[in-house]
Amino acid sequence: MTEAPSLFDALRDACADDWRAYTGHAFVRRLGDGTLPEECFRHYLGQDYLFLIHFARAYGLAVFKSDNLEDMRQAAGGMAAILDEMGLHVRYCHQWGIPAEEMAALEEAEATVAYTRFVLERGLAGDLLDLHVALSPCVVGYAEIAAALKAEAGAGLEGNPYRDWIEMYAGDDYQAVAAAQVAQLDRLMERRGGPGRLPALIDTFRTATRLEAAFWEMGLRLAR
């Protein structure tokens, strides 16, 4: 018997054009072939630091929105993982000449504000399922993007200046984070969802995916 597709698969399929625009964005392609200008990557890294702060807040909100210990532990684990990732992010940014003090003083770009506030708004206005759907293009998308870039580059990844970024998100640890997010969506849909919820969830997923693409565009164009 064929296994039913996950909720994430259904959402991604419903937003296929937007998903391709996000995962195949020029910023992503140039990360993969190593031709992305370094100033674009540094701009992205600084804004991603601010982005992660708000995503940690979103997982804190997920704890509040949870109505059982399993969901609370999952959300708390997500927040802890992001806070740990921020330590790695600070060290990685230092390698690229961006000290922690500089990142802390950065002004949020419009794309950063738009995306992070959308996620928080969906969590505040909706329930835990709405919040996790809004988070999922980032959490799962990065895993998909990095795995594809690593597979496409093969031995060519050796000389890529962005190799560490690609290998971090393509690595087993982050791939497990993405798989856990897909499983959590299915658990939440089983308890909180139903056919009537799908159109609104698709709208949330589509908007979050478009905002992800706008975040890449911000990095590519050095937008403020």
Set 15, 85, 93, 212: catalytic member: 212
Set 85, 138, 190, 217: catalytic member: 138
pLDDT in tens, 173-217: 999 999 999 999 999 999 988 879 999 999 999 999 999 999 999
Q: Is the pLDDT assigned to residue 146 strictly greater than 50? A: yes
Tell me the CATH architecture of domain 7-221: Up-down Bundle (1.20)
Q: Is the pLDDT assigned to residue 1 strictly greater than 70? A: no
- 40 in catalytic set: no
DSSP 3-state helix, strand, coil percentages of the chain (rounded to 5)?
85, 0, 15
Instruction: Tell me the pLDDT of the chain averaged across its residues.
Output: 93
Q: Which H or E element spans position 1?
A: none
- 212 in catalytic set: yes
pLDDT in tens, 55-97: 999 999 999 999 999 999 999 988 988 888 787 778 888 888 8
